[in-house]
Structure 1
C-alpha cells in the first residue's frame, strides 16, 4: 500500500511518541488535530499497523462515478459520428441527440483518458486591448463573409455571409453563397431588417463593394467623378443611404474580431452540423443553417448592457422591392429602347408619357432575375424588344483565274488618229489689215 506524505508524517510522529520523544499534546500540536484524534490514530496503529493510516475509501470506486458503459459509449461516439467536434460542442450534441447529460469537465477527463484531444489548438497569447461592447442591441452590426470548405469533401467550396450584433453576439442573418458577392450581403441585410429592424451602423471590411472612407475613395475615383466632386455609390452604398444606416470600414480583421471569432466557432460547430445532416449542396446547406441559427443564438447570445433596443422601424416611404435590388441608370434611345446586359428592352407608352426618348430611366434588377423600369419613382411598362437585324459581313469578290489575270495584265495598244484628223491640220490665223 502506498501512503501519501501526510499519512507518512502521522506514522513518524506516532513512532516518536511511542519512543517517548513526544507527548500526545505535542503530537496533536504538530499535526494540527485534537488530542482525541491522536488517541484514535494510536489505537488503530497498534491494532492494524501501517494500513490504519490510509484513508478507508482508498481503492474503492466512487458511487457517483460515471458508469463504464456510458464512458465507452461516449468514447465510441467521439471517435465515430462526432469525430472532429470540440469538447463544448460534443457535450451539446450528446445532450441533444443522445440524451446524455454530462459536464464539460467530466467529458474532458473521459476524452483525455482515451487520448482524444480537442481539434482546436491553443492560440498563441498576444497582448490585446479589449473594446467594450455597444450597450444597446441594434447599435452596431458587424458583417463579413467566410470562404471555407463548409461541406468538406461532400460538396463545393462555399462562402458564408453573415452579420452579428455587437451588443449581444446574436447572429442576425446568414446565408451560404457560391462566393462572396453583393447578392449575399443584400439577403443578409434583408433577413436582419425583416426579423429585427434597421441597425444604426454596419461595421465591415474595405471590400470594393462597400462604401469606402474618404481617403480610400479618393485614390480610386475616376476623372469624371473628380470633376463632378461626387463618387458614384456602390449598390451596397446606395442601400445604406436609402435605409439611413451608417457605414464604418474596419482597417484590420482584428478590429471586427467579434465576427471573426464567429467564423472560428462556425468552422468547427457548423461544419459538424452540416456533416451530421449529410448536406451536400448549396440548398441543403442553407436549410441546415436556418435551422441551426436559433439554437446557436439561444446557446451563445447574451443580454445587452441596456434593455432598450436601438433597432429602427422600416420607413413608410420606402418599398423593399425598390431597396433590395440592383439599380443602374440607362438613357432611352429614339426608338424607345434601352440596352441592359446584352438585351434590348422596349418601353411602352402609358398615361404618363407617349414617348420616352432621351429620358434617363432606372433599371431595377430583382434577385430572381426579373427587371423593372422606373422613371421618377413610377414603373414604366416594358417588354422584350425585337432583336436587331443581322448585318452580314461584306465578302470580297472571288479572285479571277490566272488566264483572266494574264489577259488583264497585257497593255492596250494606243490609238493613232488618221492623217485628215482635225488635230493634224495646222491652225490658220487670219490677220486683219
Structure 2
C-alpha cells in the first residue's frame, strides 16, 4: 500500500478496486464482476491476480503521471504563442488557428490554440464571461425571403484611413452575407448603390428588414402620417416590401454579423494592407465567399425566393431621389437651395404654376421632367456663404462642409500672414502704404471661393456632371 500513498487513484479506479477486492475475498464471482465493470471475465481474473501481488497500486494505469503520447512539441507551442503575441494578439482562437496554418505552416488544432492562448492570458474562456440572455427567434424558411440590412460606422482601416460605413446585407434564413459595400456615409444614395449591386447579383428578395433610420422611415411620420421615404418608394416600384424593426435585437442576424465583421474583416484588411474603400469593395467578394463557407446555415426549404428583374424595371430611373417642385412666373424651379433656370420657350411658359418632377441620380445628375421628358436648364447655386446655425439637410451636408473647410482655411491663412481683415480698418489703411514699385497682391474673396466650389460641382449649363456616387452629390 506504499504505492497508493504516492499515487492518487481516480474515482473510476477506486470503484474498480472495491469490486476486484470483493472477487479476491470470495464475495463476488468473476463473471458477475465482469458484468458490473463492463470487462471480460479473463480481464477480471488478471486484475484480481495483480491486486494480490501488488496491492491497490496494481490497479492504477501504467500511464499515470507520464506525459501523453499525443502532446505537442514544446518548441512548436512556444513558437505558436510567440507568433500570436506578435501578430494576432487580438485574434480569436479559431481565426488565429487559421492564420497559423495559412501563413506560418504551424499545424495545430483549434482547441490546442485555445488552450495555449488561455495559458498565455490572450483569451478569456466562455465560462468566465458574463452570461448573455438570448430569446429564441426562428429563422425564415426560404433563402431570399427576408434580408436584414444595416450600416456599421467603424474604423475599418484602423489608423491607415478615416472611419467609414459598411453596408451589410444578411439573409435571415441562412445567415449568408449577401452584399458588403464600403461607403463614406450611410445615406439614401449609398443604399441605392449597394441595393443595385445586390439586385444585379441575386435578384429581388421578398422583403428588406431594417431599423428606423431616416433612410427607411420618415422622421416626420408621426406628424404627417407619411412613412414612405425615397428608398421605400424605390423598393415599392420594384415590388419589394420594406419593414422596420422595433429594436436592434429584432434584427439580430445583421447585428451579430457586425460583431464578426468588426473582428475578422478589420484584421483581414490589415493583413492585406488595404486602406481605401475601392480596394475594400473589391476584396469584399472573396471575403464573403470565405465567410459564408464558415458561418452560413442551410435553409429549411430549398426554394429560392429571389425573383429576377423584369425588362420594364429600369434601375437607373427607379433608384433616384424624386421631389415635386413648382415652376415660378420667371420660369425658375427652386430645389435644395439651387435655382434652375428653364429656357424661355412657348412650351415652357405653359408650365408656369405647374409642379414638375425633379430627379436626382446617384452620380449627381439632375433632371427636371415634365410629362415624362427632361427639360433643359441652367443651374444657379443659391448657397453663397455659410451662416452660423443655418439648418442644412443631410443630403446637402457634403457640399456645405467643403465650403466651410475652404472658408476656415482662408481665415487661418489671413490670421497667420497678418493680412487685413474687414474689421481692422487701421491695418487696412496701413496695408495701402507700400514701398514704390511693389506689386499689389489680389486678396482671395468669398465670391472667388464660391465660384471655385461651384466650378468643381456644377457646369455653367446643363446637367450636373458625375461625382462620387458613394457620397450625397454636391452642387
> Is 2:155 the partner of 1:152?
no
> Is 2:142 the partner of 1:139?
no
Distance in 1 (alpha carbons) for counterparts of 2:304 and 2:22: 73
Q: Residue 253 of structure 1: CA displacement? A: 1.3
Q: Residue 342 of structure 1: CA displacement? A: 3.8
Distance in 2 (alpha carbons) for counterparts of 1:293 and 1:56: 51
Distance in 2 (alpha carbons) for counterparts of 1:381 and 1:387: 19
Change (3 A) 1:355 1:278: same
Structure 1 equivalent of residue 260 of structure 2: 265
Instruction: Name the stretch that deviates more: 186-195 or 144-153.
Output: 144-153
Matches of residues 15-30 of structure 1 in structure 2 within 5 Å? 21-22=25-26, 25=29, 29=33
Q: Residue 22 of structure 1: CA displacement? A: 4.2
Change (3 A) 1:242 1:122: farther
Matches of residues 97-246 of structure 1 in structure 2 within 5 Å? 97-118=103-124, 122=129, 124-126=131-133, 128=135, 130-211=136-217, 219-221=222-224, 231=226, 233-246=228-241
Distance in 2 (alpha carbons) for counterparts of 1:329 and 1:200: 29
Matches of residues 369-408 of structure 1 in structure 2 within 5 Å? 369-384=364-379
Distance in 1 (alpha carbons) for counterparts of 2:132 and 2:165: 29
Change (3 A) 1:7 1:314: closer
Q: Residue 371 of structure 1: CA displacement? A: 2.2
SS at match of 2:198: helix
SS at match of 1:219: helix
Distance in 2 (alpha carbons) for counterparts of 1:315 and 1:266: 34
Structure 2 equivalent of residue 2 of structure 1: 7
Q: How far does the alpha carbon of each residue in 1:373-407 deviate from its partner, in whole angstroms, 9 at most, with x for none?
A: 3223333344446999xxxxxxxxxxxxxxxxxxx
Change (3 A) 1:312 1:24: closer
Distance in 1 (alpha carbons) for counterparts of 2:284 and 2:305: 26
> Is 2:246 the partner of 1:254?
no
Unaligned residue ranges in structure 1 (runs of 5+)? 222-229, 389-433
Correspondence for 1:325 among 291, 300, 320: 320
Aligned Cα root-mean-square deviation (Å) = 3.6
Unaligned residue ranges in structure 2 (runs of 5+)? 1-5, 384-475
Contact 2:341 2:377 (C-alpha < 8 Å) held by counterparts: yes
Distance in 2 (alpha carbons) for counterparts of 1:125 and 1:386: 54
SS at match of 1:175: strand
Change (3 A) 1:356 1:156: farther
Distance in 2 (alpha carbons) for counterparts of 1:219 and 1:232: 8
SS at match of 1:80: helix
Number of equivalences: 373
Distance in 2 (alpha carbons) for counterparts of 1:58 and 1:88: 31
Change (3 A) 1:329 1:24: closer
Change (3 A) 1:356 1:139: farther
Distance in 2 (alpha carbons) for counterparts of 1:255 and 1:386: 43
SS at match of 1:176: strand
Q: Residue 196 of structure 1: CA displacement? A: 0.7
Change (3 A) 1:73 1:366: farther
Contact 1:329 1:360 (C-alpha < 8 Å) held by counterparts: yes
Structure 1 equivalent of residue 466 of structure 2: none
Change (3 A) 1:91 1:356: farther
Identify the structure with the greater helix proportion.
2
Give the structure with higher Rg (CA).
Answer: 1
Distance in 2 (alpha carbons) for counterparts of 1:273 and 1:126: 30
Structure 2 equivalent of residue 403 of structure 1: none
Structure 1 equivalent of residue 445 of structure 2: none
